[in-house]
Structure 1
Amino acid sequence: MKKLKGLLLASTLTVSLFAFHTNVDAASSTHTVKSGDTLWKIGMKYGVSVLELRDMNNKISNMIYPGQRLVIPQTISASDKELLARLVQAEAKGEPYAGKVAVATVVLNRVDSPLFPNTVKKVIYERSENGSYAFTPVQNGQINQAADSSAKKAVEEALTFRGQGKGSLYFYNPETSKSKWILSREVTTTIGNHRFAK
């Protein structure tokens, strides 16, 4: 009888541990902090926001210590990162690196805003009331061109910076824009040939 109870307890414990382990792995992964790590570097490595890292790990500051285990929140999918990098490549080709990060940030801000769809793909392929796409590269097919390493890095940086900017939801080139509506939006910053607004 004792042996049966022991076997039952061991199998229950194994199932419980397996279920718990499965839930943790499905929702997130972990990172053991090494000497020289910062939340920014960890965020860049995994493509997650520093704010999300802090929140997920109940941290009120950016202080971390070697040996600490941090839970890494889920990030956007690899296909969404690639799509976003292709948009950045097409929209910000020839612009400063900071402008590329800002273009990616606009898309992420839209994903986080209740005014826009809630996925990267839906934001990028969103159509206006007149049927045109929100982003010119989708309309003209440039979205299908491969992204370079600078555009990919800009996406990773935008993901790491997510939630810390000025809330830009739009960008435009004031030299070529014909929309009076976009010119009426509050400008948050100007980088290269683009104005960013909300």
Structure 2
Amino acid sequence: MTSFRAQLAEQRWDDHRFYHHSLINQSLHFVSACTFITAYLVLWIDPAVASLMAWGVAMTSRQAGHFFFEPKAFDHVNGVSHDHKEEIKVGYNLFRKYVLMSLWAAVPVVLLVQPTLFGLLIRPDGVEAYLRHVGIGWLMLGVGAIAFRTVQLFFIHDVATGLVWATKIVTDPFSDFRLYKGAPRRLLNGERMDHPDDVAAA
């Protein structure tokens, strides 16, 4: 258990120090964390609505922070290149995230073109029913993405690494809430980077 907790702490620290320099990114992660935590509660009541919240708000804000605001030049704080960080990323690096978000965008399009998904679903009666299908589709995509990468890590690294990463992903909203709750205030005070000496990398 100690080793598991140590690995979890290490993965969280690496993710923070490598991929969360921008205070805009951190603030968006705070918004994402709040939305995900709410979605976790709603999940027990209405999975489709919870998934629409998680993917429609939490994931889009979260990934926008990485795609548009996080520095991608040389990381002077950690002394590594962006390419090196992408190579050693345990979970979804930017390339994998582009693939994942492309699948996310494809789900509503597929269900718009093929509302019954070739007879697997009941034809939606109206916009609300369509959005519920999208929500369930996104929920399956999310569960599938976590399961796929977890099993992949079993073979690339080991079982422990995969299980630690899966645990990290599921608990990230709570960790991000704690880590980044102060980011919006700092951003409003005019700060832009968590590490001022790394501004040149932006």
TM over 0.5: no
- Larger helix proportion of the pair: 2
- With normalisation by structure 2, the TM-score equals 0.20
- Larger strand proportion of the pair: 1
- With normalisation by structure 1, the TM-score equals 0.21
